[in-house]
């Protein structure tokens, strides 16, 4: 006697792979014979296929053990993610879903894992972008003020823009400039870039003295610096990119 085939059940989940929070879909498949992990090349969705009678912990451990492979495949996904309803975007390193609330009052607000956007459909992308730039400006100004005080230096101005070539820069005049896309990265990355540019108020070159100053106000800066080197290009997948814009260099 044959039992009726059970249905495939899919549940969203998150894994932390090399310090990066990655959204995965757990697919409980009655027909699967073994645990498999795939990265769908079209949109970079990570799927963990779990056969019947398999402990979830075992499937997750398998996926985590394949973390470097998953991240490598994700890095090869060239797909752009527009700021559109239903899109998943990172804010401070955590994935949120854009939820269009056409009937609601207001502009843009957070509700847990949702980024809610009111108003007409045609305004969603610009509203999300404007909101992210506003968040970036506030976070960067806070971080710059903090590290400037730590170091006892002054800063002339803080500008946030869609920088073409740098995550941050510091002019001899004391004017600092940053990419708004830092708000997409884990908080330590934004903080590190702020500390880096503030440290240039004491030492303009990237000399050993400069890196000593960075380490003084941001111990452990190597990790966010490496994150930016490894994942920085990912931040450019989200929203529109200016025509001809180059990828920023690490600061
Ligand atoms: Zn620098």
96-105 tens-digit pLDDT = 999 999 999 8
Nearest residue to 98 via CA among 228, 65, 109: 109
Residue 8: the pLDDT is 86
What spacing in Å lies between the alpha carbon of 167 and ligand 1's midpoint? 9
What does the pLDDT look like over 143-172, one tens digit per residue? 999 999 999 999 999 999 887 568 999 999
Q: What is the pLDDT of residue 244?
A: 34
Contacts of 185 (CB under 8 A, 6+ apart): 90, 92, 93, 227, 228, 231, 232, 235
Distance of CA 204 from the midpoint of ligand 1 (Å): 7
Alpha carbons 205 and 172: distance in angstroms, whole number: 11
Q: How far apart are CA 174 and CA 250, in angstroms?
A: 20
Distance from the CA of 66 to the center of ligand 1, in angstroms? Answer: 34
Which portions of the chain are predicted below pLDDT 70? 1-5, 41-43, 77-79, 164-165, 240-251
Give the distance (Å) from ligand 1 centre to CA of residue 145: 18
Task: Please count the residues of the chain.
Answer: 251
């Amino acid at each position: 006697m044959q039992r009726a085939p059970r249905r495939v059940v899919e549940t969203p989940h998150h894994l932390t792979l090399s310090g990066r929070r990655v959204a995965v879909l757990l697919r409980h498949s009655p027909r699967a014979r073994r645990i498999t992990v795939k990265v769908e090349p079209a949109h970079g969705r990570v799927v963990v296929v779990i056969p019947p009678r398999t402990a979830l912990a075992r499937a997750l451990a398998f996926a985590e053990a394949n973390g470097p492979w998953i991240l490598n495949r994700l890095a090869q996904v060239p797909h752009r993610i527009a700021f559109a309803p239903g899109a998943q975007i990172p804010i401070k390193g955590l994935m949120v879903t854009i939820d269009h609330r056409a009937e609601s009052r207001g502009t843009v607000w957070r509700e847990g894992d949702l980024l809610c956007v009111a108003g007409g459909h045609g305004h969603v992308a610009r509203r999300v972008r404007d909101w992210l730039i506003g968040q970036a400006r506030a976070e960067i100004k806070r971080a710059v003020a903090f590290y400037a005080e730590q170091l006892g230096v002054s800063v002339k101005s803080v500008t946030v823009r869609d920088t073409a070539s740098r995550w941050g820069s510091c002019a001899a005049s004391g004017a600092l400039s940053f990419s708004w896309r830092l708000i997409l990265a884990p908080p330590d990355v934004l903080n590190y870039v702020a500390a880096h540019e503030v440290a240039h108020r004491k030492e303009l070159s990237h000399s050993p003295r400069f890196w000593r100053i960075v380490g003084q106000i941001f111990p452990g800066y190597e990790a966010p610096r490496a994150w930016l080197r490894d994942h920085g290009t990912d931040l450019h997948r989200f929203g529109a990119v200016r025509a001809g814009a180059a990828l920023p260099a690490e600061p």
